[in-house]
Chain A
Amino acid sequence: MVRLLDVCKVYENGTPALSGINLKIDDGEFVFLVGSSASGKSTIVKILTSEVKMTSGRGIVNGFNLNRIKPSKVPELRRTVGVVFQDFRLIDKKTVYENVAFAMRAVGAPPRIIKKRVPYVLQLVGLERKMKSYPNELSGGERQRVAVARALVNNPSMIIADEPTGNLDPKMSIEIMSLLEKINELGTTVLVVTHERELVNEFSKRVIAIDSGRIISDRTGGYYQNETL
């Protein structure tokens, strides 16, 4: 669940990134956040994960008040939000299994639970046969599926995918999107940040468009079919 109310962000060097953002995402939704590069998409993701603080406005993510959250509570917020990055951000020195299990250890899960949960999640993303491989032995699509598994393993109420297909070819991109759609059907809120219009048009979902730090459109169904950005 996300609520942003009149959120503005100006970076310390004076660069304005967001102005007057109002955003409401309910539990169980699947939402695309689209826009060209430097439109402010990544800043929204960073605000949602409390990586940067908003300059003004108010915000709530999964019950955490972004304006008042203490640094010690930020890890708890992040555990409710699984993030998938464009560059996968896997730890190269750890196996696929370890990369996913690691996220569970970070939240203090007992080994007994980890041993059950990690294979289950890897099976969900179709990587049960690659558990012992290292990230550099995998294709881009497979790596991204590991990242999705990692984001998913702690049962977050929401998954944010920041340009998850930016480094993938079209076929693999569809695969990842379908995976995210499947996860959404299982009850997790999904927010996909992207600038790939063909991909967005493949799915009939809610699309929020952002340009120069402002929301310029919010509707369901292929946004790019009607307007250019």
Chain B
Amino acid sequence: MKLYNITYFLREGIQSIFSHRLMSIAATSVICACLLLMGSFSLVAMNIDKLLEDIENKNEIVAYVEETFTEEAARAIESDILEITEIDSVEYMTKEKALENFKKEFGDESGILDGLDERNPLRDRYTVTLRNIHDTQKVADALSEVDGIAKVSARSDITDKIIQVRDVTTAICTVLILILVLVSVFIISNTVNLTMFNRREEIAIMKMIGATNGFVRIPFVIEGLLIGIAGASVALLLQWGVYEYIVASTLSAISFIPTVSFGSAIWYILIMFYGVGILVGGAGSALTLRKFLKV
């Protein structure tokens, strides 16, 4: 292809966006709306995932040390515990510290625990976090094997539930996002179809003059690509603004809910928006055009 053709196609594609202003705005809006829907859904899914992950992380196993062990002996067990490969981190806590924490949890009513300082009923303990929540039962079993561990407390029933909920939400979100992609492709291809139908006369004229299919197609594809990129860009900005607003105004008020920052999701959103935008804009117009080229 000669250089003057490339500049011609580019100019033609860009000019055509402006000379068919209404259709361009309509197509950009449709792409933008579909992407926003997809993006919003993905962000909701990400937040649910993050929330569940957070709950997972809080799900620690507590291993109590034999009461007969001195603090020194108790601290010596740590190396044994660390030999369990599934463990992410281990934290040792003396019974005094444990009691202090216990009191904190009671807050104003900690008075009922007052008499306990002299005869602390709590034990020294290790708080263990896992790399993978699926290993809870396995690690609990391994911990109880360790010499010096009297008792292991692990709520494997709760972790099983969380795993279930997370698996189900991931599946539902994936299916819903796929459906959204399909619906978007359908809506967008219809919009492109409408644009083409509006300009079938123009296409027929080009063909009658002796233009090849490629010559007719390229400006349309460039136009579609640019509209796809524009739709993705607008959607990205809107998504960003709206998301930050929602996070700042509502979610942050409920402090115990962890939120995904837009920055950490931006690559996913960026790739999805521009990928889908360019694909449906460019490929959409190339494919839809085929029908109108049969003159």
Contacts and interface: CB of A to CB of B under 8 A. Distances in A.
Nearest to A51: B295
A108 B207 CA distance: 14
Contact of A89 (B2, B20, B201, B211): B201
Contacts, number: 49
B205 A91 contact: yes
Interface in B206-231: 206-212, 215
Contact of B19 (A83, A93, A102, A150): A93
A163 B208 CA distance: 16
A75 B205 contact: no
B268 interface: no
Interface residues of B, number: 20
A175 interface: no
A105 B210 contact: no
A76 interface: yes
A173 interface: no
Contacts of A72: 212
What bracket does the count of chain A residues touching chain B fall in? 20 to 34
A75 B211 contact: yes
B245 interface: no
Which 8 A/B pairs are nearest by Cβ-Cβ distance? A106-B211, A78-B210, A79-B210, A93-B19, A103-B209, A75-B210, A75-B212, A89-B205
Given A75-B207, A78-B208, A78-B210, 12 more contacts: A51-B208, A91-B202, A93-B16, A102-B209, A106-B206, A106-B210, A106-B215, A107-B210, A108-B2, A108-B215, A150-B209, A154-B210
Interface of A: 49, 51, 72, 75-79, 83, 89-91, 93, 102-103, 105-108, 110-111, 150, 154
